[in-house]
Protein backbone atom coordinates (compact mmCIF):
# COMPACT_ATOMS: atom_id res chain seq x y z
CA UNK A 1 0.00 0.00 0.00
CA UNK A 2 2.37 2.63 -1.22
CA UNK A 3 -0.29 5.30 -1.91
CA UNK A 4 -2.11 5.20 1.43
CA UNK A 5 -2.60 8.57 3.03
CA UNK A 6 -2.81 8.62 6.79
CA UNK A 7 -5.14 11.17 8.29
CA UNK A 8 -5.07 11.99 11.93
CA UNK A 9 -7.78 14.01 13.49
CA UNK A 10 -6.24 16.43 15.89
CA UNK A 11 -8.22 18.37 18.37
CA UNK A 12 -7.19 21.98 18.66
CA UNK A 13 -4.72 22.65 21.44
CA UNK A 14 -6.50 24.90 23.93
CA UNK A 15 -4.19 27.02 26.04
CA UNK A 16 -4.18 30.32 27.83
CA UNK A 17 -0.47 30.75 27.08
CA UNK A 18 -0.47 31.78 23.43
CA UNK A 19 2.85 33.60 23.81
CA UNK A 20 4.74 30.36 24.50
CA UNK A 21 5.55 31.20 28.11
CA UNK A 22 4.07 29.65 31.21
CA UNK A 23 1.90 31.88 33.40
CA UNK A 24 0.71 29.57 36.21
CA UNK A 25 -0.36 32.34 38.62
CA UNK A 26 -2.37 34.29 36.05
CA UNK A 27 -3.91 31.08 34.68
CA UNK A 28 -4.97 30.03 38.19
CA UNK A 29 -6.40 33.48 38.92
CA UNK A 30 -8.27 33.46 35.60
CA UNK A 31 -9.84 30.07 36.35
CA UNK A 32 -10.74 31.11 39.92
CA UNK A 33 -12.34 34.29 38.57
CA UNK A 34 -14.36 32.34 36.01
CA UNK A 35 -15.52 29.66 38.46
CA UNK A 36 -16.48 32.11 41.22
CA UNK A 37 -18.18 34.41 38.72
CA UNK A 38 -20.24 31.59 37.24
CA UNK A 39 -21.10 30.32 40.74
CA UNK A 40 -22.25 33.79 41.76
CA UNK A 41 -24.24 34.17 38.55
CA UNK A 42 -26.04 30.84 39.03
CA UNK A 43 -26.75 31.55 42.70
CA UNK A 44 -28.08 34.97 41.73
CA UNK A 45 -30.46 33.42 39.24
CA UNK A 46 -31.58 30.88 41.84
CA UNK A 47 -32.40 33.49 44.49
CA UNK A 48 -34.12 35.61 41.86
CA UNK A 49 -36.36 32.82 40.55
CA UNK A 50 -36.91 30.56 43.58
CA UNK A 51 -38.37 32.38 46.55
CA UNK A 52 -37.53 30.78 49.87
CA UNK A 53 -37.77 31.68 53.52
CA UNK A 54 -33.98 31.52 54.03
CA UNK A 55 -32.83 33.50 51.03
CA UNK A 56 -30.75 35.93 53.12
CA UNK A 57 -27.91 33.45 53.61
CA UNK A 58 -27.90 32.61 49.93
CA UNK A 59 -27.98 36.32 49.03
CA UNK A 60 -24.92 36.92 51.22
CA UNK A 61 -23.11 33.95 49.63
CA UNK A 62 -24.01 35.24 46.17
CA UNK A 63 -22.78 38.73 46.95
CA UNK A 64 -19.54 37.48 48.52
CA UNK A 65 -18.67 35.18 45.61
CA UNK A 66 -19.48 37.96 43.15
CA UNK A 67 -17.34 40.47 45.03
CA UNK A 68 -14.40 38.06 45.31
CA UNK A 69 -14.70 37.30 41.61
CA UNK A 70 -14.59 41.01 40.81
CA UNK A 71 -11.60 41.76 43.05
CA UNK A 72 -9.56 38.73 41.94
CA UNK A 73 -10.50 39.43 38.33
CA UNK A 74 -9.39 43.05 38.49
CA UNK A 75 -6.00 42.04 39.90
CA UNK A 76 -5.61 39.24 37.35
CA UNK A 77 -6.53 41.66 34.56
CA UNK A 78 -3.69 43.98 35.62
CA UNK A 79 -1.06 41.23 35.47
CA UNK A 80 -2.42 39.21 32.55
CA UNK A 81 -0.13 38.60 29.60
CA UNK A 82 -2.23 37.09 26.82
CA UNK A 83 -5.51 37.76 25.09
CA UNK A 84 -6.89 34.33 26.01
CA UNK A 85 -6.33 35.01 29.72
CA UNK A 86 -8.12 38.34 29.42
CA UNK A 87 -11.12 36.75 27.72
CA UNK A 88 -11.54 34.23 30.57
CA UNK A 89 -10.99 36.91 33.22
CA UNK A 90 -13.51 39.38 31.78
CA UNK A 91 -16.11 36.64 31.33
CA UNK A 92 -15.76 35.72 35.01
CA UNK A 93 -15.87 39.34 36.09
CA UNK A 94 -19.06 40.04 34.16
CA UNK A 95 -20.75 36.93 35.57
CA UNK A 96 -19.54 37.89 39.06
CA UNK A 97 -20.88 41.43 38.64
CA UNK A 98 -24.33 40.15 37.69
CA UNK A 99 -24.30 37.73 40.63
CA UNK A 100 -23.14 40.51 42.98
CA UNK A 101 -25.92 42.81 41.78
CA UNK A 102 -28.57 40.12 42.22
CA UNK A 103 -27.21 39.23 45.65
CA UNK A 104 -27.30 42.87 46.75
CA UNK A 105 -30.81 43.28 45.36
CA UNK A 106 -32.04 40.40 47.51
CA UNK A 107 -30.50 41.48 50.81
CA UNK A 108 -26.82 40.59 50.65
CA UNK A 109 -24.60 42.73 52.94
CA UNK A 110 -27.57 44.32 54.69
> Are 16 and 85 spatial neighbours (Cβ–Cβ below 8 Å)?
yes
The answer to whether 74 and 93 are in contact (CB under 8 A) is yes
Mean of per-residue pLDDT scores for the chain: 90
pLDDT the model gives residue 109? 83
Cα separation, 50 vs 27, in Å, equals: 34
For the cut 70, the answer to whether the pLDDT of residue 37 exceeds it is: yes
Looking at residue 16, what DSSP letter applies? S
Decide if pLDDT at 1 tops 80: no
pTM summary value: 0.85
Q: What is the pLDDT of residue 19?
A: 84
Res 63 pLDDT > 80: yes
Q: Above pLDDT 70, what percent of the chain?
A: 91
pLDDT at 11: 76
Between 57 and 93, the higher pLDDT residue: 93
Task: For residues 29-47, give the mean pLDDT.
Answer: 96
Amino acid sequence: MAGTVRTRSRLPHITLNSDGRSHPLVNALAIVTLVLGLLSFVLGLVIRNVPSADSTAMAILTAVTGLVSMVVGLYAQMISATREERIVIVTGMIAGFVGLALGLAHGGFS
